[in-house]
Amino acid sequence: MNPYQQKWIEVLQNAHIPGWEIKPEEEDIYVEMPNIADLKLIRDNLPQTLGLISLDIDQPKQRLKFLFHNGYEHFEYILNPETADLDKP
């Protein structure tokens, strides 16, 4: 686990969001949410929310993929994407 990933996990776990399990998955962060979580609402607000949270992170920025899952649906969000990520359709 790299220091940037580790710091994000620490910050997210310290938010104490009920029912959320936050853990490393290789170089990514896996977030398991309760089945009732509205993934569209989370996906729509994620860039602004992560932007605010990132103010507390002083590690050098790196590419980091978040994997969100609520038991039924899932989506991915890449923070600090690399060129290869931006070229994907």
What's the confidence (pLDDT) of residue 89? 63
What's the confidence (pLDDT) of residue 36? 79
**Does the reported pTM lie above 0.85?**
yes
**What 3-state class would DSSP assign to 42?**
helix
Distance CA 2, CA 40 (A): 29
Q: How many domains does the chain have?
A: 1
Number of CB atoms found within 10 A of residue 63's CB = 16
Instruction: Answer whether 75's CB lies under 8 Å from 44's CB.
Output: no
What's the confidence (pLDDT) of residue 84? 87
Spatial neighbors of 28 by CB under 8 A, at least 6 apart, are: 5, 64, 65, 66, 67
Per-residue pLDDT of the chain in tens (89 residues, 90 and over written 9):
899 999 999 999 998 989 999 999 999 999 999 887 788 898 999 999 998 988 889 999 999 999 999 988 999 999 999 988 888 66
- Residue 64's domain comprises 3-86
